[in-house]
Amino acid sequence: MAERMTWEEIKEKYPDQWVGLDEVKWESPTSSVIVSAVVRYTDKSKSELTEEQIETGGRIVAIHTAPDNVPFVGIMY
């Protein structure tokens, strides 16, 4: 079972790559700041992760781990 990691831990473990996150804990309901999440995908491209987002109804969040000014690609409900 995958473990929950902080955003800082995720960036350190998976530097400069796209990751697919699940069970994302946001700083607040209206924030785009990730506090922690479970990493589900590390071997997919941005377009593959976007497909995962669509297929999961927005549960998976695709985000690049560097730099911090790169926005996430997500469907938020």
pLDDT at 7 over 50: yes
pTM for the full model? Answer: 0.81
State the distance between the two ends of the chain, measured CA to CA, in whole angstroms.
26
Strands (E), the chain: 4-6, 18-26, 34-41, 61-64
77 — pLDDT class (breaks 50, 70, 90): very low
Report the C-alpha gap between 38 and 2 in whole angstroms. 6
pLDDT of the residue at 32: 85
pLDDT tens digit sequence for 14-67 = 998 999 999 999 999 998 899 999 999 998 999 999 999 999 998 999 999 986
